[in-house]
A and B are shown apart, each in its own frame.
Chain A
Amino acid sequence: QELKISHQFKANTDARDKATRLFVEEVNKKDPGLKFRIYPGSSLNIKPAAQFDALQSGTLEMAVFPMSYAVGKVPEVSITIMPGTINTLEHAMRLKGTPFHKKLQEVMERNGVHLVTWWWTPGGFASKDRPIAGPDSVKGEKMRAADPTFETMLKAAGASVINIPSTEIYPSLQSGVLTSTLTSAESFVTMRIYEQTKFATVGGDYTLWFLLQPLLMSKASWDKLTPAQKKIFEEAADKSDAWFAANQHEAVKTMIDVYTKAGAKVQPLTKAQFDAWIDLAKKTSWPEFEAKSADAKELLKLITAVK
């Protein structure tokens, strides 16, 4: 039995692909009998969001999956991109093994998938015409966000939120349909968004949001593993998690370098700007998320309990 791993990222350069290969290597060190086949760059011809359906049905065994893509099926996943809940990579890693992690795992397993790794990517803003700082700075910007609760906050801050597919981000920035966008530090570089934007907001001690993009496994496939194999998976996951977090520090540095070299202005959020965003999030995104379900309410309570 071969385990297929699908994802949308470039092979051998993107951290999410490299971490996947590290995970496979670690598992095979202890159990060479388990065969994996990685399909990078959407080469399995399953679209990124549809990987979730394939995992649920058991057709696909594993995938690296940006959690927010599943928000239509599992509204609670908005917590994995919720603004103002995590402010550093260390903070994100401290969440592993906490009641928050356990609750999230419970919700996901109820929906047919199992969280294997704990890969968080730091997010940022980039803009064509002005530096994005506090909430007042996005007024009138034409922005694209990836998640409905995040969009609520941006709209409240006065931005025009536009719904376009991710493949059209680059040409839309080029023509001006879009004036700013948010995504993970690494994607700003790999999608070459720096060619079309002049201002970036990233790094520092106050990152407004993180996105969980872990290796997921079909619950059906996970249940077929023996207890010994499950343990091997968890140990390999620990190794990949540590590598991934260290790599994401590098990704932020790379993004700053690339933007600086391209002659753009790069800045982190200040404490005051960050606090202003959190105040806004507490009035907009957070209550909207809590209203989704009892699980959502508990997840938000659990994530904010970890300092």
Chain B
Amino acid sequence: MNELQIGLLIVAITTIVLFSGFPIAWGLALVAIGFLLVFKGPASLAVVATQFMDELNSFALLTIPLFVLLGAAIGVSAAGKDIYESLYRWLARVPGGLIIANILACGMFSAVCGSSPATAAAIGKAGVPEMIRRGIPPALATGAICAGGTLGILIPPSITLILYGIATETSIGRLFLSGVVPGILLVILFSAYACFAMFMERRGLPRVEETFTLKEKMEGMFRVGPFLVIIIAIAYFMYGGLATPSEIAGVGAFMALILVMTIYRAWRPRQQWLIFRDTVRESSMILMIIAAAALFSYMMSLLYVSQSAAEWLVALKMNRWVLLFAINIFLLVLGCFLPPVAIILMLMPILTPVLEANGFDLIWFAVMLTINMEVGLITPPVGLNLYVLRGVAPEVPLGTILRGSMPYVFIMLAFMVVLCLVPGIATWLPDTLMGKGH
């Protein structure tokens, strides 16, 4: 069997195993161990435990549980209800106003959090139940946060852009700047869609609009105050040089806990248990998938499957735009099965020289790749954000979350086309602030 045939076999078997209802984490581990055993022999399994523990032994990755804790503190206590009540008073008249507020919250949170699943977990924990309680269809509520959360790796800071910078030897500072404008544009596009979708949803229904007096609205403002303080404090700690992007997660979780313990008086062990119980459960689910995905990526790399496919693609000597199209399709397929970090590590050594030879700007491509990876975070069978949303809203079936997220996938794909036509969306800000040429 050659490497491409093995690759097809992996795709087929993984799809069957992961769609059978088997937990994703064990499924990935099972496929990885099976293929290693069959194609590389028992000796290749010697490093299974090392790979598993080494993947978890990364502080940057472990910000996910801390951000889950932050989200749980706000979501489980009355704090979440309060924020959304006050937002609701201001946004009741805008179709999809609450969804837009959540998308904006995802965008703002992305500016302090470098990981997409973490962003989705932090915002979704409070946001989804409140949106559903206020009558927004579950598909729209979960889809918006599933997609909005993916902005975590596009808007700086970003774990994947750091790794891309190291893999391609491009400037991390420049990469961070290049994600800002596309991130803001996607927030606007996502919001516009949410507004449109809610408008269509409510069309023909009697208007059950509540109106609020200015006094009621202002009263709501005060309740949002403490959260603005948290966000401003987090930004101050990070951009003021007090803490690294990863340490921010711990600081944020701490402040959220203090807030709900003091202002919301959730200091009793029983109330704290609700917060921590959910944190433990969701963290374990997400990180187990990530650790198992490390085994899966190691298997794929050892069998040289994705590398061979990329080399084969490159060897076809296509026109540069056809090549770019083919690369993106290939990345979308890989994105169904692998998390972003593994894809960047495996493929960038092969793709970088080809992109350079074809005259593509590596900073521009980073944005293209990141949006592609964001799509991968939503596509099954391995779509981390889907599972995060499933974790924070256990009553919503996975199919509903997926249905709600699909429109955003199309928005992102369309945005990638626009990015090809107007590369300045990505390169203008870094070129303006850091000078041209890199």
Contact = CB atoms under 8 A, between A and B. Distances in A.
Note whether A and B contact each other (Cβ less than 8 A).
yes
A10 B243 contact: no
Contacts of A46: 47, 51, 298
Interface residues of B, number: 51
B328 interface: no
A175 B240 contact: yes
Given A42-B345, A43-B307, A43-B346, A58 B46 contact: yes
A160 to B, nearest CB: 13
Interface in A35-94: 37, 39-47, 49-50, 53-54, 57-60
A196 interface: yes
A206 interface: no
A47 B244 contact: no
Contacts of B54: 47, 49-50
Nearest to B434: A195
Contact of A43 (B51, B172, B345, B353): B345
A41 B47 contact: no
B301 to A, nearest CB: 5
Given A10-B349, A170-B173, A59 B46 contact: yes
B348 A41 contact: yes
A56 to B, nearest CB: 9
Interface in B163-183: 163, 165-173, 176
B175 to A, nearest CB: 10
Contacts of B347: 43
Contacts of B46: 54, 57-59
Interface in A223-276: none
Contacts of B59: 165
Contacts of B245: 168, 171
B298 A13 contact: no
A196 B47 contact: no
Interface in B132-180: 157, 162-163, 165-173, 176
B207 to A, nearest CB: 49
B297 interface: yes
B39 to A, nearest CB: 13
Nearest to A4: B302
Given A58-B46, A167-B162, A175-B241, A45 B348 contact: no
Given A168-B244, A168-B245, A44 B60 contact: no
B239 interface: yes
A10 B60 contact: no
A12 B242 CA distance: 37
Nearest to B293: A45
A57 B239 CA distance: 43
B50 A44 contact: no
Nearest to B49: A53
Given A11-B353, A45-B346, A171 B47 contact: no
B301 A39 contact: yes
A21 to B, nearest CB: 13
A70 to B, nearest CB: 13
Interface string B38-61: 000001101100110011001110
A279 to B, nearest CB: 33
B369 interface: no
A170 B241 CA distance: 12
Interface in B336-370: 342, 345-350, 352-353
Nearest to B306: A43
Contact of B304 (A12, A37, A57): A37
B238 interface: yes
A113 B349 CA distance: 26
B102 interface: no
Contacts of B169: 10, 13, 190-192
Interface centre among B58, B173, B241, B348 (most CB of A within 10 A): B241
B244 A45 contact: no
B243 A167 contact: no
A305 interface: no
A255 to B, nearest CB: 14
B294 interface: yes
A113 to B, nearest CB: 14
Contacts of A57: 46-47
B337 to A, nearest CB: 14
Contacts of A191: 166, 169
Nearest to B239: A175
A40 B301 CA distance: 12
A177 interface: yes
B246 interface: yes
Interface in B106-123: none
13 contacts: A11-B352, A13-B169, A37-B304, A41-B345, A43-B349, A45-B294, A45-B342, A45-B346, A46-B298, A167-B60, A170-B162, A176-B240, A192-B171
Interface of B: 43-44, 46-47, 50-51, 54-55, 58-60, 157, 162-163, 165-173, 176, 238-246, 294, 297-298, 300-302, 304, 307, 342, 345-350, 352-353, 434
Given A10-B168, A13-B169, A192-B173, 18 more contacts: A11-B353, A39-B349, A42-B345, A43-B307, A43-B347, A44-B301, A45-B298, A45-B301, A46-B298, A50-B47, A58-B46, A59-B44, A59-B47, A170-B162, A170-B172, A175-B244, A177-B241, A192-B170
